Amino acid sequence: MLPLDTKGAGGAELKYDDFTFAAAAWTLTAHEARPGHELQFASMVEHGVSLARALFAFNSTNVEGWGLYAEWFMLPYMPEEGKLISLQLRLLRAARAFLDPELQAGTITPAQAMAVLENDVVCSKAFATEEVERFTFRAPGQAVSYFDGYTRILEIRQAAEKALGPKFNVRKFHDFMLAQGLLPPDLMRKAVMEDFVPKQ
């Protein structure tokens, strides 16, 4: 949920225009609905993932990594304008991966992070403001999980593809990943390489 009451200098309300057009709906749907979070959580219910795994293995890296992976997976099926926005949003997640820790370390200022988000990622001032507040006050460290989780899932997939060669089936791979619940990446990789791969 993005707060819609972001204020700028002098208390003036800042307006979002980052998600208010049809081309953005492709990526938002892929991430939040199917094959993203809605499928991810529905699969846990369907497969009866244990309470211990659902409660204690929960981690943002797996959750948001799957959402960004779903965007990547659906990119070829989007219209051209949807692809453009999807790539912009992937750029945002890559920017988060270094802006968040650099703000925590004090190696950049909030103004410098705002400049990257507005000028390089092309976010609205409202969205850039919300992002910097997220990194510094609301949830420091969480925004890194999107790109980290996405790259870890890609690494797991590449390892499975290499191990299985022509026997690799992407649908079976996805079904297996989803059936595991919200495992941290190292445990997910172990499950894939020690359970999924041998059974294929």
Provide the 8-state DSSP code for 11.
G
pLDDT at 103 over 70: yes
- Distance of alpha carbon 67 from alpha carbon 86, whole angstroms: 12
- Distance of alpha carbon 2 from alpha carbon 24, whole angstroms: 15
Domain ranges of the chain: 15-199
User: Which tokens go with 17?
Assistant: 């225009």
pLDDT at 10 over 80: no
Tens digits of residue pLDDT in 73-93: 999 999 999 999 999 999 999
- Distance of alpha carbon 14 from alpha carbon 3, whole angstroms: 11
Q: Where are the alpha helices (DSSP H) in the chain?
A: 22-32, 37-47, 51-56, 60-74, 80-105, 110-115, 125-133, 144-164, 170-179, 185-191, 197-199
Tens digits of residue pLDDT in 135-181: 998 889 999 999 999 999 999 999 999 999 999 999 999 999 999 88
Strands (E) in the chain, as ranges, are none
